[in-house]
Structure 1
Amino acid sequence: MESEKNGTRRLRDRSGFTLIEIMVVIVILGLLAALVVPKLIGRTEEAKKTQSRIQIKNIEQALGLFKLDNGFFPATDQGIEALIKIPDAGRIPRNYRKDGYMDRLPKDPWGNPYVYVSPGAHGDYDISSYGADSAPGGEGEDGDINSWDAQ
């Protein structure tokens, strides 16, 4: 009788979680996931588009400095590569900065180079990222991000 009470007491004194406690925690985590996950889905594409707009603005600032120093924008055939090294073809800039205008040329968030045209159809130059599909046009995540679009 005495050993039976000690065995029961030892079982009750054990620390740990009961099945019901574990189930309650799983239900709470499931509810939290159901509320949070839908808000996070779709945010990655929005973040990529925002990053692309910021990179285009940075390229535009470097182009502005290039023009300020040299009096013109790089031509399409020189490309935005003219911002990191002096062009060796076309109109050669006379007051090119020793270290260039950018450390490196960024790729768009989908890993593609930006498309640069000068003179552009929408101004002195056009800069575009073709989005996830890497092709002109498209909607949603495949939509283009352009320097001339109002942000």
Structure 2
Amino acid sequence: MRSHRIESGFTLLEMLVVLVIIGLIASLVGPRLFSRVDSSKVQVAETQTRLLRGAVETFRLEVGRIPTESEGLSVLYVAPADERAKARWRGPYLDEQVPADPWGTPYQYAIPGRDGLPFAVYSFGADGKPGGEGNDADVGFLPGK
């Protein structure tokens, strides 16, 4: 007896139809997912600026002053050069070096801050420039005007 084997599989046309459907679904869902990525970067920057603010406040409590603009945020991880401040420094106040913001640029530190804060810790946002709107807006505790 001869047995006939039936070959099964997909035709090229069926594969193309499936790929077109997948492409249409991706074009509808993709932009929504990528907008979430941008907003999550803003949330990460807000969280990191709160962490940096807390570290600056701890530095202030122990050393008796806030970091100078020339010391910047690096003094939260590396002891200050000033011998008087170095004697009171109990850091590091961060587990690692000061992180870059979610867009890969350094966080900014300035004196004074807005709304009565003695300092500002912030990111320039997605565009890396002062000001902006939406994802390009500055994030964190902003400097005084």
TM range (shorter): 0.7 to 0.9
Q: Which residue number corresponds to residue 131 of structure 1?
A: 125
Q: Could you tell which deviates more after superposition, 60-69 or 34-43?
A: 34-43
Q: How does 1:102-141 map to 2 (within 5 A)?
A: 102=94, 103-122=96-115, 123-141=117-135
Q: Could you tell which deviates more after superposition, 70-79 or 85-94?
A: 85-94
Could you state the TM-score of these two structures normalised by the residue count of structure 2?
0.78
Q: Deviations over 1:7-56 (max 9, x none)?
A: xx55xx01211355435523542342243213113222212211111111
Corresponding residue SS for 1:128: strand
Runs of 4+ in structure 1 over 4 Å off: none
AA matched with 2:26: A
Note if 1:26 corresponds to 2:24.
no
Note if 1:101 corresponds to 2:96.
no
Indicate the structure (1 or 2) with the bigger Cα radius of gyration: 1
AA matched with 2:126: A
CA 1:147–1:86: 2 relative to 1, 3 Å: same
In structure 1, list runs of 5 or more residues that go unmatched. 1-5
Query: Conserved in 2, the CA contact under 8 Å of 1:131 and 1:141?
Result: yes
AA matched with 1:62: A
In structure 2, list runs of 5 or more residues that go unmatched. none
Number of residue pairs matched? 140
| Aligned-pair Cα RMSD in Å | 2.7
Q: Which residue number corresponds to residue 35 of structure 2?
A: 42
Question: Partners of 1:90 and 1:134 in 2: how far apart?
Answer: 35
Once the two structures are TM-superposed, the CA of residue 83 in structure 1 deviates from its matched residue by 0.3
Once the two structures are TM-superposed, the CA of residue 84 in structure 1 deviates from its matched residue by 1.0
Query: Conserved in 2, the CA contact under 8 Å of 1:130 and 1:143?
Result: yes
Q: Which residue number corresponds to residue 3 of structure 1?
A: none
Corresponding residue SS for 2:122: strand
Query: Conserved in 2, the CA contact under 8 Å of 1:128 and 1:145?
Result: yes
**Aligned residues with identical type, % of pairs:** 38
